[in-house]
Amino acid sequence: MKIPFLSCSQCRKEFPIERVHPRCSSCNEPLEVIYPRLKKGKIPSRGTMLERYQAFFPFSSIHKDLSLGEGNTPLVLSSVVGPAMGIEKLFFKNETQNPTWSFKDRGTISGLEHALSLGFKKIGTVSTGNMAVSVAAYGTRAKVDTYVLVSHGLPEEKIGPIAIYHPHFIMVEGDYGELYFKSLELGARFGIYFINSDIPFRVEGSKTIAFEICEQMDFHSPDYVVVPVSAGGNIRGILKGFEEFYRVGLIDRIPKMIASQASGCSPITNAFEEGREAIDRVPDPHTIAHAIENPFPPSGNQVLRKLKENGGTAVKVRDTEILEAQALMAKEGVFGQPAAAVPLAATKKLLASGYLKSSDSVVCIVTGGGLKYTAALGHHSFEIKTIPIEKIEEIL
């Protein structure tokens, strides 16, 4: 059997699976894991996420004791918002129910497995919140030194959920996009495996979202999958999952992908709308969807290439539309952070434009829990009554 390897997503230069640096030495584009052979087989109904899908990973063994129960998140059929918007088959893939309340746990456990297989004793990440929490949690469980680099000025409420795991917590002043590349250099020097946003094995973890959607829909692919996009690794991974299931014959078609971004920071959508093959840096990013506020996403060019190949699209939405979508999603009982509401806002916009039809089946990826950023609740209005105890009966 041919051994899996890493391949440049642009020039296709090949590298060994043991390589840690996630970018091509020739063109500096992101690498991805390639499996020369994949076999269709029965997927176990039990086990950890990595155990169930081990046939789609290059790991010869799995440290199942490191799992926190990631994956196996609900696919919720909308009974309120979809019908009101005029689309009957609208689904929410609720990633808020992962151990640290976001999809990041999938890529973290996959990256951690790769790091341990190579003998690393130190891991790290560059993050604005969700990934920092995830890497800190899994790092402490694995008993490895964990380094978390965050942007200076991170909202106060995001600090405690990271610090509680006692990683080496470092706030860095300067350009966030530059910090990503700096971490790769420092990781190589100090023996730290940085499980950053679009490293090959974080992308591998994200593909399990697609695997689960296929299973939950009885191996019938949806027409569209809408993903909020920051660095670009998650949408790459989800599409890769559908491609691999299609390759082995588990599904008969690949859904079209929709990359959704906030208008205050939309480098990928800007390039897509202008027909460019490369992204430009957003000079002054600003959006309430902090989790996807990446002005120069490292996988941006690859996302553009894959959207063109896939036949999908990219769309941006305003903060007001994001907050409206957050409130609408709550009507389904799903509380997502602002970034997690971006797909629903994009779906509503694309329905209004005629791009999406009422007969389409659409899955919105709800990437992170609303409790991740409660300051957003200050933008909503609520009706709350205060009464004396003797008035309870009258009010009821």
Tell me the pLDDT of the chain averaged across its residues. 95
Supply the pLDDT for residue 104.
Answer: 98
- Cα–Cα distance between 318 and 161 in angstroms, integer? 28
Q: What is the mean pLDDT of residues 277-303?
A: 94
Alpha-carbon gap, residue 284 to 382, rounded angstroms: 32
- If one counts every other C-beta atom within 10 angstroms of the C-beta of residue 357, the result is 12
Task: List strand residue ranges (DSSP E) for the chain, in order.
Answer: 5-8, 14-15, 31-34, 75-77, 89-94, 122-127, 145-151, 168-172, 193-194, 224-228, 256-262, 313-317, 361-366
pLDDT at residue 19 greater than cutoff 50 = yes
| pLDDT, average across residues 104-112 | 98
Three-class secondary structure of residue 324 per DSSP: helix
- From 206, 217, 109, 125, select the one nearest 168 (Cα to Cα): 125
Q: What is the pLDDT of residue 153?
A: 79
pLDDT at 34: 97
Q: What percent of the chain clears pLDDT 70, i.e. is strictly above it?
A: 100
381/177: higher pLDDT? 381
What percentage of the chain carries pLDDT values higher than 90?
Answer: 89
Q: Given this model, what pLDDT does residue 157 score?
A: 87
Structure confidence by residue, pLDDT tens digits, 181-215? 899 999 999 999 999 988 999 999 999 999 999 99
Secondary structure element (H or E) that encloses residue 327, with its range: helix 319-330
CA gap 202, 233 in Å, rounded: 7
Q: From residue 302, how far is each of 149, 233, 297 by CA, in Å?
A: 25, 9, 10
Condensed to tens digits (0 to 9), the pLDDT of residues 324-357 reads 999 999 999 999 999 999 999 999 999 999 999 9
pLDDT-derived band of residue 231, with 50, 70 and 90 as boundaries? very high
pLDDT band at 28; cut points 50, 70, 90: very high
- State pLDDT tens for residues 241-268: 999 999 999 999 999 999 999 999 999 9
Query: Rounded to 10 degrees, what is the CA torsion of 223, 226, 231, 234?
Result: -60
Q: What is the mean pLDDT of residues 19-44?
A: 93
Local structure of residue 388 (DSSP, 8 states): -
Tell me what pLDDT residue 149 has.
Answer: 95
> Is the Cβ–Cβ distance between 336 and 365 less than 8 Å?
no
Instruction: Give the pLDDT confidence of 114-172 residue by residue, as tens digits.
Output: 999 999 999 999 987 899 999 999 999 999 999 999 988 788 888 999 999 999 999 99
pLDDT in the model for residue 39: 84
Q: Using an 8 Å Cβ cutoff, are 198 and 299 in contact?
A: yes
Indicate if the pLDDT at residue 1 is higher than 50: no
The pLDDT score that the predictor gives to residue 155 is: 81
Please say if the pLDDT value at position 50 is more than 70: yes
Which residues, in sequence order, are CB contacts of 352 under 8 Å at separation 6+? none
Specify the pairing of strand 145-151 against strand 168-172: parallel
Contacts of 170 (CB under 8 A, 6+ apart): 147, 148, 149, 150
Task: Kindly report the backbone phi and psi dihedral angles of residue 258, in degrees, each rounded to the nearest multiple of 5, phi listed first.
Answer: -120, 115
Q: What is the mean pLDDT of residues 353-382?
A: 95
> What's the confidence (pLDDT) of residue 41?
81
Q: What mean pLDDT do residues 37-45 have? A: 88
Read off the pLDDT of each residue in 6-31 and give the average, rounded to a whole number: 95
How does residue 110 score in pLDDT terms, banded at 50, 70 and 90? very high
